Amino acid sequence: MGDSAWRNVWHGIAVAPASRAIFPGSSSQTSSAQQPFFNRPLRSGVRPRALYKDLAYFLINLSWPRLALALATSYFGVIFLFALAFYFVCQECNDLFDGYNLSYQAFSTIGFGIVYSRDRCGNYVTILESYMSMVLLPTFAGIIFTKFSLPKVQVAFSNVCCIQPNYSGNHAALVVRVANASSSSHLNLDVIMDASFSMELFSTVLRRHKLPLKQADFIFFRLALELVHVIDATSPLYATPFSPDCMLLVTFTGVDSNRHATIVNQVSYTHDCIAHGAKFVAMLSHEVNHVEMDFDRLSDVALSETSVLWNAMGHRRLLSPDQGIHHEGMTWEYAASTSTESSSQPFVEPAMAGLLLKQSSA
């Protein structure tokens, strides 16, 4: 059914005309406290599901300082509540401070010191607090362990994507670079398995276009690769410029070989992150005894026909209209070169082919 399928249209959503782009600048870093929708903060109103039913997920998604504050508040808050019971209900202590000491000793099950329960009411409160201690302390430990064991995003996306001319014959290509950002020093062993990538183009009418990749699925994702969408006659980008009211969404899914947990990550690119007439600079170099991958070059690109480097972190536009390369649909004109030979550049850097792809033994 292609892009005309009903499932690719955002039914019931209308975009009001505006003087600026509907999609703001791209960002690959999202805070756990904000849920983005097309790079705009998304805030929900009254939730249909009560918070206490999803309290564990809420705590796990907190940052470490906020989680530590929440657990410490809960820990000492429960002790203070039982201290009030010891002092006001059972009247076990002469002042509230002694009641807090008695409650702390009962909750931590370290044994009683100078203060201890003297009557039946205090003993019952001690039993209840000991039970609460047996429930809460393992719960706190489980939340901390779960947060430690959550799979971290191990894929780094470039800050820009390139529209590289003459990638396949006369057709240009939309190229995004990704790299395995695992902190392991043995990337030939600690790989991401069953890696799968997808590209989707969203326009001002909120219509989704699936952009087919030259290769989207990989058995092993070790170092770095380039995601390539060839802009031919079947591409939604053919004869259509990447306007300010368009956004590219790249999605990654894979399985961590160590934790065997699913990893999901997304990054979006808007028109200000498109480098026209450019290609990515090689980020892999061979040393004497090892292969080095330079993440500082993850977003570095160069003009397709020159060696002028452009650092994506400090600039937004690569080409100016007087440089001899311009974009009118997908027609490219060159002042220095008019070669239309088919490019033999692979979708991975040549130095990575032996490490990234499995070689057949046949």
Tens digit of each residue's pLDDT (9 = 90 or more) over 189-231: 667 888 899 998 877 666 788 899 998 999 888 888 899 999 9
pLDDT of 12 higher than 60: no
The residue range of the domain holding 80 is: 51-149
pLDDT of 249 higher than 50: yes
pLDDT of 145 higher than 90: yes
Is residue 46 assigned to a domain? no
Angle between helices 120-149 and 64-84 (to 10 degrees): 170
Choose the most confident range, by mean pLDDT, from 56-70, 236-250, 299-313: 56-70
Q: How far is CA 176 from the centre of its chain?
A: 15
> Where a domain ends, among 109, 124, 149?
149
Q: Which residue has the higher pLDDT, 252 or 154?
A: 252
Give per-residue burial for 193-205: e unless 16+ CB within 10 Å, then b.
eebebbbbbbbbe
Is residue 20 assigned to a domain? no
From the list 223, 227, 228, the residue with the least C-alpha distance to 353 is: 223
Q: How far is CA 267 from CA 28, 161, 171, 276, in A?
A: 5, 11, 25, 19
222 and 201 in a common domain: yes
Q: Please list the residues that pair with 228 across neighbouring strands.
A: 175
Q: Which residue has the higher pLDDT, 353 or 284?
A: 284
> Where a domain ends, among 149, 177, 200?
149
Q: Which residue has the higher pLDDT, 66 or 4?
A: 66
In angstroms, the CA 227 to CA 110 distance is: 59
249 contacts 36 by C-beta, under 8 angstroms: no
The pLDDT tens digits for 16-74 are: 554 555 555 554 444 333 445 555 565 655 666 777 788 888 899 899 999 999 999 99
Q: How far is CA 223 from CA 157, 290, 346, in A?
A: 12, 13, 15
From the list 198, 215, 216, 210, the residue with the least C-alpha distance to 264 is: 198
218 and 79 in a common domain: no
pLDDT of 187 higher than 70: no
Q: Could you tell me the CATH number of the domain that includes residue 202? A: 2.60.40.1400
285 and 186 in a common domain: yes
334 and 309 in a common domain: yes
- In the numeric block, the tokens 């000492």 are attached to 76
324 and 250 in a common domain: yes
Q: How far is CA 75 from the centre of its chain?
A: 32
160 contacts 176 by C-beta, under 8 angstroms: no
Quote the pLDDT of residue 75: 95
- In the numeric block, the tokens 């990704």 are attached to 178
pLDDT of 287 higher than 80: no
Is residue 237 assigned to a domain? yes
330 and 214 in a common domain: yes
Least confident window among 91-105, 157-171, 281-295: 281-295
Is residue 335 assigned to a domain? yes
Quote the pLDDT of residue 119: 86
Q: What average pLDDT does the structure give for the chain?
A: 74
Quote the pLDDT of residue 22: 54
185 and 140 in a common domain: no
pLDDT of 361 higher than 70: no
311 and 183 in a common domain: yes
Q: Which residue has the higher pLDDT, 92 or 182?
A: 92
- 3-state class (DSSP) for residue 309: strand
Quote the pLDDT of residue 142: 94
> Where a domain ends, among 118, 149, 180?
149
**What single-letter DSSP state applies at residue 166?**
E
Quote the pLDDT of residue 44: 59
Quote the pLDDT of residue 28: 46
Least confident window among 72-81, 249-258, 274-283, 313-322: 313-322
Can you tell me the mean pLDDT for 258-287? 85
184 and 142 in a common domain: no
Confidence band of 176 (pLDDT split at 50, 70, 90):
very high
Is residue 305 assigned to a domain? yes
Q: How far is CA 148 from CA 124, 141, 143, in A?
A: 37, 11, 9
Q: Quick count: other Cβ atoms within 10 Å of Cβ 276?
A: 21
- 3-state class (DSSP) for residue 316: coil
Can you tell me the mean pLDDT for 290-297? 83
245 and 123 in a common domain: no
Q: Could you tell me the CATH number of the domain that includes residue 141? A: 1.10.287.70
Q: Which residue has the higher pLDDT, 88 or 316?
A: 88
165 contacts 277 by C-beta, under 8 angstroms: yes
Q: Please list the residues that pair with 293 across neighbouring strands.
A: 284
266 and 171 in a common domain: yes
Q: How many domains does the chain have?
A: 2
Quote the pLDDT of residue 82: 94
Is residue 139 assigned to a domain? yes
Is residue 42 assigned to a domain? no
Is residue 28 assigned to a domain? no
Quote the pLDDT of residue 271: 84
User: What is the full DSSP assignment across 215-277?
Assistant: --EEEEE-SEEEEEEEESTTSTTTT----TT-EEEEEEEEEETTT--EEEEEEEEEGGGEEET
128 and 269 in a common domain: no
β strands within 30-127, DSSP E: 35-37, 40-42
Quote the pLDDT of residue 164: 87
First CA to last CA distance, the chain: 39
Quote the pLDDT of residue 277: 85
